[in-house]
Amino acid sequence: MTAMIARRFVELEQQLEEILASKTHRNSSYTGSSYEHIESDLVLNWGVKVKSLFERLGSEAASQLKTFIEAEEYRSFDSEVDRLKRLRAIFLATKEDFEGGYLVSYRNLVQAEVFSNELEQAEELFRNSYATAAAVIAGVVLETTLRDLCSTHELEHGSLNKMNDDLAKVGAYNASQKKRITALAAIRNSAAHGKPEEFTAADVRSMIDDVERFLTATLQ
């Protein structure tokens, strides 16, 4: 999710610079003086996409979204270039805050702490040769993370495998990650149904590490 938003910021910044580069000079029919001109539909199109991105960031970017909407309002003697420059300043400031980690939600911070504690429990169980119990706990963390991702992407909750399929379809992560989660789900299901013969201690060790990496990528 975070990677998708970061990529979208880069795409919109590139589009912004392309729009600014498209400006031309025209002569005013009222004063005869020259002014910079940008097609209004380009600014409108870009603005809609930026607001959609800010909305995806949730309450953490609420003030930035409000400021952006206010800056869209026309002012006396405004040109599209003037409006776009105002919007550009807000967009770049928000992008900088996002890249600096200042728009990470408190909820994500709490989740990261909770999940970290649960994975520590899984680690402790694994070290004490309770691999099956460790796999169950790691599986719970994985499933809860997928549920949260489904909520973010407005997808229905379901089985671990169904959520994995749905999230991959909407681009929440790539095919490689989907394949790995499918493998983790198999270990989790075997552990939950008391079938330790279907996995090894090494599988559980890798599972804990993989879930931790997935959490880091998802909640950062």
pLDDT in tens, 7-61: 889 999 999 999 999 999 877 677 667 778 899 999 999 999 999 888 877 766 7
CA dist., res. 188 & res. 107, Å (int)? 26
- Predicted local confidence at residue 110, as pLDDT: 45
Overall average pLDDT of the 62-84 stretch:
89
Q: What is the pTM of this model?
A: 0.50
- Predicted local confidence at residue 113, as pLDDT: 54
Calculate what percentage of the chain has a pLDDT beyond 70. Answer: 88
Q: What is the dihedral of CA 98, 108, 170, 205, to 10 degrees?
A: 120
In single-letter form, the type of residue at position 11 comes to E
Domains, the chain, in order of start with CATH, read 2-99 (no CATH), 106-219 (1.20.120)
- Assess whether pLDDT exceeds 60 at residue 114: no
CA dist., res. 4 & res. 172, Å (int)? 8
Classify each residue of 144-183 as buried b or exposed e, where b means 16 or more C-beta atoms within 10 Å of its C-beta: ebbebbbeebebeeeebeebbebbbeeebbeeebbebbee
Tokens of residue 138, six digits: 């790691």
- Assess whether pLDDT exceeds 90 at residue 102: no
- Predicted local confidence at residue 207, as pLDDT: 94
- Assess whether pLDDT exceeds 60 at residue 165: yes
- Assess whether pLDDT exceeds 50 at residue 106: no
Calculate what percentage of the chain has a pLDDT beyond 90. Answer: 45
More confident residue, 137 or 114: 137
Query: Among 102-111, 162-171, 178-187, 188-197, where is mean pLDDT lowest?
Result: 102-111
